[in-house]
Structures are given as C-alpha cells and as structure tokens.
Amino acid sequence: MMEYPTHSEGPFVVISLTGEVDMNYSPQARQQILAHLDGQRHVLVDLSQVSYIDSSGVASLVEGLQKAKSSNLRFGLVGASRASMLVLRLARLDRVFPLYGTLEDALGKQA
C-alpha cells in the first residue's frame, strides 16, 4: 500500500493526500493521521492535490479531528481542492473543520 508523503512544519506534521481518496485509499489516510496523533503530534492534512474524495475519505478526516480534540491536539485541513470542498460542504463539515487556504495561513493562525 502506498504511503502519503508527510513532512514537519513547525509544531505540525503535514500529511499530503493525493489523487483519489476513496474506499481503497482512505484506510491508509486514516492510519497515517491516527498514527501521528497517537505520537502526540499536531496534524495538518493538505488536500490541495486531492482529485476525488468520497465519504470514506471524509470519515478518516472526521476521525482525526475527533481524536485530536480528545487528545488536546490541533488538527486542520489545508488548501481544500474543489473535489474535497464539494464533499465537505455537502456534509456540512466545512463549518466543523479548521480550514486554511495555505500552509502559511495555518502556521500563522495556529502559531
């Protein structure tokens, strides 16, 4: 199974999801998000290269947000692509996640 690229940025781990985050790839996204939160890291998920995401992909993000809240860690979404914004809006989750246009926005506001 492919692994999504990650890098450290200030206090955050940035996980960059790419391509089609569907039922085949959302378990990998979920596993990486939860692993970094388990390691007590703040997490940003970069959605700028996501060409398609379905409810299973969004469920991985919701699980990350909930785990972050219960662990007193920060969790946000960066650069939501058109495809990801469509699903977030329809699921009314655009009001639930911290959303940032760019990584700089996220770092500036969260620092």
Partner 1 sequence: MADARLLLRLRCAADAGQLPLLRDRIRQALAGQGEAPPEAVDSLVLAVNEACMNIIQHAYGPWQNGDILLELFRDDGGVTVRITDFADPVDWSRCRPRDLEDIRPGGLGLHLINELMDEVAFLGHPGGRGNALQMKKKWHRSQGGAA
Q: Enumerate binding residues for partner 1 (CB under 8 A).
A: 20, 22-24, 52, 54-56, 58-60, 62-63, 65-66, 83, 86-87, 90-93, 96
Q: How far is the CB of 51 from partner 1 (least distance, A)?
A: 11
For residue 4, the minimal CB distance to partner 1 (Å) is: 17
The nearer residue to partner 1, 22 or 38, going by C-beta atoms, is 22
Q: Which is nearer to partner 1, 27 or 108 (CB)?
A: 27
Instruction: For the beta carbon of residue 13, count every other beta carbon within 10 angstroms.
Output: 19
Question: What count of other Cβ atoms lies within 10 Å of the Cβ of residue 79?
Answer: 21
Min CB(62)–partner 1 separation in Å: 4
Would you say 59 or 103 has its CB closer to partner 1?
59
Are 111 and 10 in contact by the 8 Å Cβ rule? The answer is yes
Q: DSSP of 9-47, one letter per residue?
A: ETTEEEEEEEEEESTTTHHHHHHHHHHHHHTT-EEEEEE
SS3 67: helix
